[in-house]
Amino acid sequence: MNKGELTRQRIIATAAPLFNQRGFDGCSMQDVMEAAHLEKGGIYRHFSSKEELAAECFQFSLAKAMRSRSGEVDHIPNAVEQLRYLVHRFVSASSPVPGGCPLMNTAIDADDGNAHLRRLALQGLRDWRDRLIQVVDGGIARGEIRDGTDSVRIANTMVALLEGSLMISRMEGSTRALDDAKASFEAVLGEIAADRGELNH
Amino acid sequence: MNKGELTRQRIIATAAPLFNQRGFDGCSMQDVMEAAHLEKGGIYRHFSSKEELAAECFQFSLAKAMRSRSGEVDHIPNAVEQLRYLVHRFVSASSPVPGGCPLMNTAIDADDGNAHLRRLALQGLRDWRDRLIQVVDGGIARGEIRDGTDSVRIANTMVALLEGSLMISRMEGSTRALDDAKASFEAVLGEIAADRGELNH
């Protein structure tokens, strides 16, 4: 990495929590400039616009959140256990970036606003859901999850429950809603887990 | 209502969707002024600050959403059916105010920002959840819901699932995630519904 690229990365790492906490309209280039100890020209040498910087920051924050939430899921052999583990990871490390979930923040911030950020958030949602769908479909193929389980429904349910309970938990300053989501997801897992009888076929 | 009060109500009704769609920072008094066809002084005669107007708008939007989501729930005798009905209402009329759920929007918008709006959002969450807790506790008392059911958990789960799936549905421009939430909530209802045997005791 040359010096220019290092500065660019440093600006992104500094600005990402600001955008995640304050939203696109609530965070000015002036705020970023001050936090990064740069002149205004210094930022515009690296980013053509606030929109470009905000987009890079969203990708940076989302990647960080997804890494933290995935943990070591690939080392777990059973699909039902993988889903349980992913819920546990989310609940115990819900906001690896200051300001809460970058996906939810950007989705709500951009849903009636910035079209580029909205597209990136939608892509982030789809990538996350696709990984969950793969876990469920893998489980069906290996007989760990009941045949005929709607993997899209399970993935949507998991994302909705986790994001919604994170919103409540952040409002209340308590992990109670996240813990409740984890407990309630057991009902969904109980419904889709193949029973021993089926596994022994 | 005198003329002043009528004008005040008209400004709130006009500004509420703007704040709900754009957030506190994304909506200026200039925007409200233009939408309401008023001079700037005309707004400040009725509201001392943008914060006061935004707070009134949030209360207005939330009350509208809660009325629409409650529907005729009080006419339904069984608690399990009441919960099912409330999920159905939310799914079929998810955004009675343009811009999505005022509670989620304000929660996300204000979680690192405006303290007064944050308190109002938290109160709105608690009121909604208290009503759900009452439904569950009533169901336990009448033997429709299993003894020992954690009513706070059920209420948190319902709010999280509905708000999270509304977020996904709005991102995708599709009701799929809301329909999935409704289907998945059946697993939770199945877990808490008292079985006929218990009812016949």
* A142 touching B (Cβ < 8 Å): no
Domain ranges of chain A: 3-199
Residue of B nearest to A18 (CA): B112
pLDDT value at B198 more than 60: no
Section B172-193 average pLDDT: 96
Chain A nearest C-alpha distance from B77 (Å): 25
pLDDT mean for each 10 residues of chain A (201 residues)? 90 95 90 89 90 96 93 94 97 84 90 86 96 98 97 98 95 95 96 72 42
User: What is the structure's pLDDT at A156?
Assistant: 98
Binned at pLDDT 50, 70 and 90, residue B200 comes out as very low
List the single range of A63-72, A110-119, B9-18, B44-53 with lowest mean pLDDT: A110-119
* B159 touching A (Cβ < 8 Å): yes
Kindly list the distances between the CA atom of residue A184 and the CA atoms of A152, A193, B6, B14, B80, in Å, as whole numbers in the listed order: 18, 15, 46, 40, 16
* A124 touching B (Cβ < 8 Å): no
pLDDT value at B113 more than 80: no
Q: What is the 3-state secondary structure (H, E, C) of B70-118?
A: HCCHHHCCCHHHHHHHHHHHHHHCCCCCCCCCHHHHHHHHHCCCCHHHH
User: What is the structure's pLDDT at B201?
Assistant: 43
Do the Cβ atoms of B198 and B182 come closer than 8 Å? no
Ordered DSSP codes for chain A = --HHHHHHHHHHHHHHHHHHHHHHHHS-HHHHHHHTT--HHHHHTT-SSHHHHHHHHHHHHHHHHHHHHHTTGGG---HHHHHHHHHHHHHHT--SSTTS-HHHHHHHHHTTS-HHHHHHHHHHHHHHHHHHHHHHHHHHHTTSB-TT--HHHHHHHHHHHHHHHHHHHHHHTSSHHHHHHHHHHHHHHHHHBPPHHHHT-
pTM: 0.91
Helix (H, G, I), strand (E, B) or coil at B173: coil
**DSSP 8-state secondary structure symbol assigned to residue B175:** S
Q: Kindly report the backbone phi and psi dihedral angles of residue B145, in degrees, each rounded to the nearest multiple of 5, phi listed first.
A: -120, 140
Residues 29-88 on B with a CB inside 8 Å of A are none
pLDDT value at B57 more than 90: yes
Domain topology for A3-199: Tetracycline Repressor; domain 2 (1.10.357)
Residues linked to residue A2 through DSSP beta bridges, in sequence order: none
User: What is the structure's pLDDT at A94?
Assistant: 65
Residue of A nearest to B185 (CA): A188
Assigned token pair, B143: 């033997």
Residue of A nearest to B175 (CA): A156
pLDDT value at B27 more than 80: yes
> Of A127, A126, A142, whose CA–CA distance to A82 is shortest?
A142
pLDDT value at B38 more than 90: no
Say yes or no for a CB contact (<8 Å) between A107 and B25.
Answer: no
User: What is the structure's pLDDT at B196?
Assistant: 60
ipTM of predicted complex: 0.91
Question: How many Cβ pairs closer than 8 A exist between chain A and B?
Answer: 160
Domain topology for B58-199: Tetracycline Repressor; domain 2 (1.10.357)
Q: Which of A171, A176, A178 to probe by mutation at the B interface, max B CB count within 10 Å? A: A171
In chain B, pLDDT over 70 holds for what percent of residues?
A: 97
